[in-house]
Structures are given as C-alpha cells and as structure tokens.
Structure 1
C-alpha cells in the first residue's frame, strides 16, 4: 500500500502544459519539473533532514569522546543516559525513517514516473510532426532521443537536488562545528571551498560542451546502426556487409574519439581535486593536532575535525562524478532538443472544425508545391472531382501523382492555392477528421509489428469480429491468415507480422492492407498502385471486392499498369506537375498523346514509364 501510494503520486499520462516543449535547455527543464514540483519539494525537505542527520552523527562522535574522557565507567551511563538515548533515537529511528522516505520519493515516485511522463509527452508531440520531419532523419536516432531525454533530465535533476544539499549542508555545518572548536580550524576548509569551487567553475562548462558533442556522436552512431538493421534485406541482397561495417566503423570511431575528449577533462579535474583534497586533510589534521598540543581543543574536537574532513574529501569525489553525470545528462537533453523541440510544420488552425463529407466533391484550385530546393513539383494545378467520380492519375515518375495525393491528405502544406472537400478548405479542418474520411491503399504497404488483428483494426477500432472477417474474406485474405503463426506460438489473427510485415509476401501484405481499408469504409478512396503486388489471378479475384469498395465513393487511383484504371470515369495525365491531358480511355486514345503512347507500349509488352 505504501509503495503504491508513492508510485501513483505522479500521473505519467497528464496533458502537457503547453503546445510545444521549449527549445532552450533551462526552459525545457522548467517545463517538465514544474509539473512534478510537489515531489521535488518533498525531496528537498527530506534531503535537508537526511544531510543534517549525517552531520549530527559526526557531532555525536565528538561528544562521545569528550563524555568518555570526562567520566568514569562506573557512572558513565548514569550521567549521560539522556544524551545517549537521544543519539540512539537519531541513529536508529530518525535516520532510517528519513532515508526510507528519500528512497521512496526517488525509487517509487520520481525515478520511474518522471522519465515516463517526459517520454509520453515528447512522444505525443513528435507523433504530430509532419511526414517531412521523419523523412529528414534516422528513425533510430529520433527514437533514441525520445527514449533517452526523459531519463537524462530526471537523473540530472535528482542528482542536482541531492548534491546541492550535501554540499551546502556539509560546508556550512562543518564551518560552524570547526568554529565552535577553534576558529582557526575554519581556515583550511574555507581555502579549500574556494579552490574547489574555482576548479568546478573551470572544468564543468568544458565537460558540458564536450558531453554535448559526445551525445550527438552517440545519437549518430545509434541512427547508423538502426538504419542498417532496418534495411537488412538490402544489405544482404547487395552483399555489402563489409561496406556496412566500414560505415559503422567510422561512426564508432567518431563516437569513441568524442568520448575520449570529454574524458580528458574528467581525468584532469580528478587529479586537481585529489591534490586539493590531500592538502585539506594534511593542513586541517596538522592544525588540529597543533591546537590540541597547545591545549586549545579537546580530543573529541580532533575526532570531529578528522571525521568531517575525511567525509568531505570522500564527498568531493562523489560530487565530481555527480557533476560529470549531471552535465553528461544535460548534454543528452541538449542533443535531444534538436529533435524534440522542433516546431510543428503542419498544424491545425485554432478554430479548425471536423471535416464533414456529405457528397465527396474534391477541388484542387491553383495548387503550387515544392519539397524545397526550388524545383516545383506541382505547378498551378486545377482539378475538380465530382461526388462519386472515379478518376485515374497517370504520368511518368516524378510527374506529381503521389505528391498530389499527399497534399490532399495534408501530409504537407501547400505553397499556394487551395484544396477543398465539399467546399471545406482542408487547412480549416482538423487533420484527424480529414484523414478519417479518406481510405488509402498504397504500393508500399506499411504494417505494424503487431498482430494481424491489431493491424486490421487500425481501419476501424470498434469493428466486431464478424465485420473483421467479412473484410478479410472480401480482400481474399481468408486463405492464408488462419495458416500464419509466429515464433511465440500465436496463430491466425493473433500472429505478429514482424517489422513492416516482413513475414508476409508482397501480395499477402497488400491483401491485408485492402482488408484494412474495406473495414474503414471511408467516403473518399485513394489507391496508389493498390494491386501492384498481386499476381493476375489474385488481382482478378479481388477486383469484384474493389468494385464493391468503390461504390458510392469518390475514388482517386494511381497506376502504372494502365489496364487497371482504363475503365474509370476519367483519366488525368500529369507531366512535370501539370495536367496535360484529361478524358476517358477512348477519348485519350483518340487524342493520340502521352496516354496513347503509354497504352501502346504496354499493350505491346513494353511496360514502362517514358
């Protein structure tokens, strides 16, 4: 019950306090720590008490020695029982109690929950990034930065709180206790504090800077390795294991070099602090012995001074490694910011409304778009698609067919012009509602490394088992799904597919994708080479299902195999981002333009794009 109470103290799935995480390190820390300030306030209070108790134990050691010197064995307990009882209570009851509270706060509350809270909010934010964001980086590097940033921020914050109290309490109370014995005992410690602070002031910024560089190299290495694993089929098909090893070797070498450069500063700081610590021990203990020899302090004071100095020296080494850990983690957070804090490039307007599709009319008006670099992919394109109309997009590679579809889905924002559905500008509606009204079957079928059931229910999460199997049968996937199994013994709909569905053939993946869109049953349907991975027999078998799927829907189909779209209501031929021909199959053949040439090539068995 006690563990559970602390474990529930932080709600890891609470909403983020702002639209986007800040892009500076200090503001980024504040953004998340403000959400759990009660836990850190409690940690500060408990840490203060624990530090005071630890120092009190050294004071008790000094008192015990002086009490023994001032008493005799026969009457020692009789004279000092009250003081001894209090010392025992502090050591045996209060100390374990507050250390236990300290551990509960760190290990049950802050430790597991704060990292998960940051991970949840950052992951939720990055999921809203545009397609271009993910295309411009390694997926492995993005994932690593999301995963490691939360834990790095948590660890550095907790270490800072713990280190702050230990340093301040030990420094202040030691000076007070030394002064009580003899003010001259303060002098070596004061000199050491200034030298210690100067050492940290010199080394810490340099360690931080090199830690950031080391973290960047580590992220690059992770991205390189994950990229190789993700594309392992390509690696093996081209027999380039050696090439991939050299690629990884360069990244590993760079990461090692950056880490070694950061470690040089650590070694230099370690040697400097060890020298300062040796001077502190020698000067303080020598001064205490001289003061005792002059009868100016007691034996208990020597024990107090010696014990505290050795404790401070040991603590200074711990602080050094804590500071290293703190700034190594800060470097990790700073590296993560380069990915996490990027502004969203495709956003909903503040007053965006849900899209309502009543008919399915689509209008492209004066559309301009380029991916950057100055080359315009879509150039002043105008196209009206009537409700329920089935059109085919045709053209050579790079003509802008898939780009036009991506713009309709608002995976990218337009450079100029507008796109509307039933008179509603797609920039004025929510992205979620827009994509919910469009079903899409792509050539490169993307399946999640989850069960077949989970992949299919992406189309409609509330679908019943009967509706699920109806979609499976209509997509002609019922002949292979019951036979599937994975390495954990799961079969049929519960079998997991592997990353991107690699355990299935191209045709099987395509049929699951078709079943998923059949289940979604959206009023607008996009088919981008929807049957390209199917053999002629399977394509013919599911053509009836596709015809049923298209009934009553507005359809945009892209295909290089013209026979699959020749029977559609209207064909639109694109070249260099412009519409150069438009009409039905017979009209375009009679026009004797690009479409007619492509048709003759394909029917003459010269299938290609020219």
Structure 2
C-alpha cells in the first residue's frame, strides 16, 4: 500500500502547456522540475537528514571511545545508558527510516513518475511537429532522444541534490568538529577542499563538453542503425549489406572515439583525486596523532578525525563519479534539447475554429510555396474545384502535383496566398478538423505495425464491425484478409501488418488503405497515385470500389497512369508549378498540348510525338 501511495504522487499524464520546452539547459531543467517541485523538495529535505545522520555516526564513534576511556567498565552502562540508547535509536530506527523514505521518493516516485511524465510530454509535443521535422531527421534518433533525455534529466537532478548535501554536510561538519578539537586539525581538510574545488573547476567543464559530444555521437549511431533496419528491404534488394555495415561502422568509430576522449578525462580526474585524497588521509592522521601526543586532542577525537577523513576520501571518489554522471546526463539532455525544443513550424492559431464542410468546394487563391528553396515549386497558382467535382491532376514528375496536395492538407504552410474550403481559410481552422474532412489514399501506403482491424479503424475508430466488413468488401479485400497470419499466431483481422505493412503485398496494402478511407467517409477525397501498386487486373477489379468511394465527394486525383483519370469531370495539367492546360480528356487530346504528348507516350510507347 505504501508503495502505491508513493507511486501515485506524480501524475505521468498531467496537463501541461503544449509548447516547446526552453532551449537553455538550466531553464529546461527548471521547466520540468517545477512540475514535481513538492516531491523534489521532499527528497531534498530527506537527503539532508540522511547526510546529517551519517556524520552523526562518526561523532558518536569519537564520543564512545572517549566515554570508554574515561569511565570505569563497571559503571559504564549505568553512567552513559541514556546516550547509548539514543545512539541505538538513531542507528536502528532513524537511519533506516530516513534512507527508506529517501529510496521511496527516488525509486518509487521520481524514477518512474518523473521520467515517464517528461517522456509523455516530449512525445505529445513531437507528435504534432510538422512533416518537415520528421523528414529532416532519423526516426530512430528522435525516438532515442525522447527515451534518453527524460531519465538523464531526472538522474542528474537527483544526483546533484545527493552530492550537494553530502559535500556540504560532510565538509561543513567535519571542519566544525576538527576545529572544535583543535583549530590546526582542520587545516588539511581546508586545504583539501580548496584543491578539490580547483580540480572540479578544471575537469568538470571538459568532462561536460566531451560527454555531450559522446551523447551526440551515440544518437547519430542509433539513427543510422534504425535507418538500416527500417529500410531492410531496400538493403537486401540492392545487396548492400557491406555498404550498410560501413555506414554504421563509420558512426560507431566516431562514437567510440568520442567515448574514449571522455573517458581519458575521467581517468585523469580519478587519478588526480585519489592522489589528493592520499595527502588528506596522511596529513590529517599524522597531525591528529601529533596533537594527541602533545595532549591537545583526545583518543576519541583522533578516531573521529581519521574515520571522517577516510569517509570523506571515499566519498570524494563517489562524488567525482556522481559529477561525471551528472555531466554525462547533462550532455544527453543537451543533445535531446536540439531535437525536443524545436519550435513547431505548422501550428493552429489561438482562435482556430473547426472546419465545417457543407458542400466541399476547394479554392486555391494565388498560392506560393517553395519548400524553402530559391527556385519555384508553386508560384501564383489559382484553381477552383467546385463542390462535388472530380478533377485529375496531370503533369510530369516535379510539376508540383503532390506539393499542391501537401499544402491543401496543411502539412506545410503557404508562403503567400490562401486555400479555402467552402470559403474557410484552412490557415484559420484546426489541423485536426481539416484533415478529418479529407480522405487520402497515397502512392506509398504505410500501415501501422498493429492489427489489420486497428489499421482499418484508423479511418473511423467508432465504426461497427459491420461497417468495417462492408468497407473491406467494397475495397475488394475480403478475400485475403481472413487468410492473413503473423509470427505470433494471430490471424485474419487480428494479424499484425508488420512495420509499415511489410507483411502485405503492395496491392493488399493499397486495398486496406482504400477500405480505411471508405470507412472514414470524408467529404473531400485525394487520390495520390491510388492504384499505382496494383497490376492492371487488380486495378480493373478495384475501379468499381473507387467509383463507389468517389460518389458524392469532391475528388482531386493525381495519376501518372492517365487511363485511371481520363474519365474525370475535368483534367488540370501542371508543369513547373503552374497550370498550363485544363479541360476534359477529349478536349485536351484535340488541343495537342502537353497532355496529348503525355497520352501519346503512354499509349504508343516512349516515342516522342511532334
């Protein structure tokens, strides 16, 4: 019961501002620690109590030696019974209680709670990043930074607190106890502290910098390895195992070199601190024995001094490793900030309203978009797609057809101009409502590594089984879905599709995608090479499904296979980001322009037509 209470002190899924975390390391830490400040302060206070009790044990040791020397054995317990009972209470009760409470706060509350709270907030933020964000980085590296930044942040914060208390309490109380016995006895410790601080100032910045570089190299290595696994089919088709090994080997050598560089500094630091500690132990012990020989300090004070400096010496090594761990973790956090603190480039306005589609008219009004490049992709394009109209976008590769769809879905924001759906500027509506009103079947259909059922219900999570089965039937997928199976024995609709749907053929993936959009039943439909993965026989079989899918909807279809869109209400021909022709198939053929030449290429072989 006590474990559950401590485990419930941090709500992993607590409400938090949906904004980019700070880019400054210090402010990044404060941003998350402030969310758990009560637990963190409690751990701070308990950590102080643990450190004070640890020092008190050495003070008890010195007092016990002096009491034993000065008190006859026959009356020892009678004389010092109360003191001994108090010492026993501290050792047997207070010390285990304070350490247990500290462990509960760290292990049961902060470790799982704070770690996963930070991960959850990072995942939620990154999930809403723009498409360009994911296209510019390795998926593996992004995931690695989300997973590693949170525990590194928590661990370094807890380590700072523990090290802070132990250093300040041990150093402060030791100096006080030594000076209380004899002012000269405190001199070696004071000199040691000065030397220790000097070493920290020398080594810590260097360890921090090298740890950050090592963490960055580790993320790069992770990204390259995951990239290879994610594209294993391409790797095998091109027989490039050796090339992929070399690609990962290069990153692994870089990561190893950075870790070695960091570890060289750590070894140098460790040897230096050990040498300094030797001087502290020898100096304090020798001085304490000399003062004892002169009758200045008692035997108990010698025992206290020697015991404390040995403890301080041992702890200095621990603290140095903690400091190394702190800055290793800070390096990981710094590496994570480069990804996790990026501002979103496509965001909803504060006053954004849900899109309401009553008719389905789409208007492109003098739009400009260039993917940030100097050259033009789309510049000054105007187009009106009437409600319920079915148009085909035609043009050579690079003409801007898919770009037009990307900006209509607001995967990127326009540089100039407006896109309106039923008179509503898509820049002023919520992204979720915009995309929920547009059904899309893309050329490269990716399925989630989940069950076929889950993939289908992505179209409409509240759909009934009957509705799902009907969508599968209309997409001509009812024949193969019941026959599917996976490596864990799941079959049919429960079988998992594999990463990106690799366990299904291209045609099967496309049919599942069409069934998913049928289930979504959005008023506007985008078909981006929707039948490109199908052979001619399969395409003919599914044309009826597409006709059903398009009924009563505004449709924009992109296709290089012109026969699939020749029957559209209107064809729009694009070249270099501009509309160069519009009309029906027959009108464009008669005109003898770009469309006619493209049609001739496909129907008469790849022979130029004058």
Q: What is the TM-score when the length of structure 1 is the normalising length?
A: 0.98
1:117 maps onto 2:117 in alignment: yes
Q: Deviations over 1:398-439 (max 9, x none)?
A: 000000000100000111111000000000001111001000
How far has the Cα of 1:608 moved from its partner?
11
Cα distance in 1, alignment partners of residues 183 and 601 from structure 2:
100
What residue is the counterpart of 2:569 in the other structure? 569
**Match of 2:96?**
96
- Cα deviation for residue 464 of structure 1 reads 1.1
Q: Which residue number corresponds to residue 344 of structure 2? A: 344
Residue pair 2:395, 2:401 contacting (<8 A) in 1 also: yes
Structure 2 residue 166 is matched with structure 1 residue 151: no
- The RMSD of aligned alpha carbons is 1.4
Q: Assess if the C-alpha contact under 8 Å between 1:439 and 1:522 holds in 2.
A: yes
Q: Is the 8 A contact 2:115 2:154 kept in 1?
A: yes
Question: Which sits farther off after the overlay, 564-573 or 476-485?
Answer: 476-485
Write the mapping of 1:362-401 to structure 2, written as runs, cut at 5 A. Answer: 362-401=362-401
Partners of 1:8 and 1:109 within 8 A in 2: yes
> Are 1:15 and 2:18 counterparts?
no
Matched, 1:332 2:335: no
**1:418: which partner in 2?**
418
Tell me by how many angstroms 1:607 deviates.
Answer: 9.8
Shift of 1:233: 1.2
Tell me, in whole angstroms, the C-alpha distance in 1 between the residues paired with 2:491 and 2:51.
Answer: 58
Distance 2:217 2:446 in 1: 30
Secondary structure class of the residue paired with 1:393:
strand
Q: Please report the TM-score for the alignment, with normalisation by the length of structure 2.
A: 0.98
| Match in the other structure for 2:295 | 295
In the other structure, the counterpart of 2:226 is 226
Count of residues in correspondence between the two structures: 610
SS state at 1:376 partner: coil
* Cα distance in 2 for residues equivalent to 1:433 and 1:97: 54
Q: Corresponding residue for 2:83?
A: 83
Q: Which runs of 5+ in 1 are unaligned?
A: none
SS at structure 2 position matched to 1:448: coil
Deviations 1:209-243 (A, max 9, x none): 11111111111111111111111111111111111
Runs of 5+ unmatched residues, structure 2: none
Deviation at 1:18, TM superposition (A): 5.6
SS of the residue corresponding to residue 196 of structure 2 reads: helix
Work out the CA distance in 2 between the residues paired with 1:492 and 1:187.
79
Residues 368 and 417 in structure 1, CA contact (< 8 A), matched pair in contact too: yes
How far is 1:541 from its partner?
Answer: 2.2
Distance 2:9 2:113 in 1: 9
User: What is the DSSP-based 3-state SS (H/G/I as helix, E as strand, rest coil) of the residue aligned with 1:363?
Assistant: strand
CA distance in 1, matches of 2:434, 2:556: 16
CA distance in structure 2 between the partners assigned to 1:18 and 1:312 by the alignment: 45
Q: Using the alignment, how far apart are the partners of 2:496 and 2:105 within structure 1?
A: 39
User: Contact 1:441–1:530 (CA<8 Å) still a contact in 2?
Assistant: yes
* CA distance in structure 2 between the aligned counterparts of 1:605 and 1:463, rounded to whole angstroms: 46
- Secondary structure in structure 2 of the residue aligned to 1:6: helix
| Cα distance between partner residues in 2 of 1:313 and 1:266 | 17
Correspondence for 2:549: 549
Q: How far does the alpha carbon of each residue in 1:297-356 deviate from its partner, in whole angstroms, 9 at most, with x for none?
A: 111111111110000000000000000000011011111111111111111111111000
SS at the partner of 1:177? helix
Report deviation, 1:12.
0.8
1: CA distance, partners of 2:49 / 2:247? 53
Secondary structure in structure 1 of the residue aligned to 2:377: strand
What CA distance in whole angstroms lies between the structure 1 residues aligned with 2:46 and 2:154? 18
Counterpart for residue 503 of structure 2: 503
The Cα shift of 1:470 comes to 1.0
CA contact (8 A) 2:18 2:125 kept: no
Bigger shift: residues 587-596 or 404-413: 587-596
**CA contact 1:153–1:330 (8 Å) conserved in 2:** yes
Shift of 1:537: 2.5
Matching residue of 2:308: 308
